[in-house]
């Protein structure tokens, strides 16, 4: 294992965050804070409790997941796409660095940035709503697992995309709508039976439900189902990345 190469790529990607801290950290925190102000502090005061949880606190896990998913994908996809765009990917491929080390470095950096952002947003949320965590270790576990899984997904998108428009298409047109429809602002138990069944086809429901269970000991689906679905998506992403490096798909052309 070439730890020096992993560390070099990791530090380079983390340094890019410091250079673009307004876009990487401050902007998402401000955007999420506005959700807390509008939905949590303002509208939440006039909403009934959901599963015995005040509405302002209820939406916190969903909002953290919204930022975590979008930023994990964005960080990882741009991190691997930009070397392809500039042509420096060939220097990386010709260096004595294995594919595993490349993935560990890029995905590790993207996941680290997302976890830092998620932690900041959680801390910020306590300024607007009272918040407690019923299962702290489970919360940290879901946070890390989700960040790693969707950083892998973003890595796949960064390799698949051949222009900046495609790079933004999946997060904007697929992931963000699925997150809003996945119970970020409501429990799917509040929906009619038919739409509850439809919602269960949305994979983001399981992520948000598991993360929310860690806070309030209650979720839309059983926590083990949430964990199983997350691990299944992680395994799928790993399989796709293994195929990409085995075939050289869009890496060598």
pLDDT tens figures, 112-144: 999 999 999 898 888 888 888 999 999 999 999
Give me the pLDDT at residue 44, please: 61
Give me the pLDDT at residue 214, please: 95
Give me the pLDDT at residue 46, please: 67
C-alpha torsion angle, residues 165, 167, 168, 173 (rounded to 10)? 100
pLDDT tier at 105 (50, 70, 90 boundaries)?
A: very high
* 48: three-class secondary structure by DSSP: coil
Tell which wins on pLDDT, 42 or 84: 84
């Amino acid at each position: 294992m070439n730890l020096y190469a992993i560390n070099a790529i990791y530090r380079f990607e983390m340094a890019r965050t410091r250079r673009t801290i307004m876009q990487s950290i401050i902007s998402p925190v401000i955007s999420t804070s506005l959700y807390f102000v509008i939905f949590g502090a303002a509208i939440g005061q006039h909403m009934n409790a959901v599963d015995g949880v005040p509405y302002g606190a209820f939406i916190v896990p969903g909002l953290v997941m919204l930022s975590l998913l979008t930023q994990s994908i964005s960080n990882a996809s741009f991190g691997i796409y930009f070397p392809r765009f500039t042509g420096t990917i060939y220097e990386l491929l010709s260096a004595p660095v294995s594919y595993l080390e490349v993935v560990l470095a890029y995905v590790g950096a993207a996941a680290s940035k997302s976890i830092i952002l998620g932690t900041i947003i959680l801390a910020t949320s306590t300024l607007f709503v009272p918040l407690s965590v019923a299962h702290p270790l489970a919360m940290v576990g879901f946070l890390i697992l989700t960040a790693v899984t969707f950083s892998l997904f973003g890595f796949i998108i960064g390799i698949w995309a051949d222009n900046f428009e495609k790079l933004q298409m999946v997060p904007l047109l697929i992931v963000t709508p699925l997150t809003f429809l996945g119970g970020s602002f409501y429990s799917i138990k509040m929906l009619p039976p038919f739409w509850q069944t439809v919602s269960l086809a949305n994979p983001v429901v399981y992520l948000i439900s598991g993360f929310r269970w860690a806070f309030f000991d209650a979720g839309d689906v059983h926590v083990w189902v949430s964990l199983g679905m997350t691990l299944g998506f992680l395994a799928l992403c790993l399989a796709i990345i293994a195929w990409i490096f085995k075939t050289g798909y869009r890496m060598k052309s």
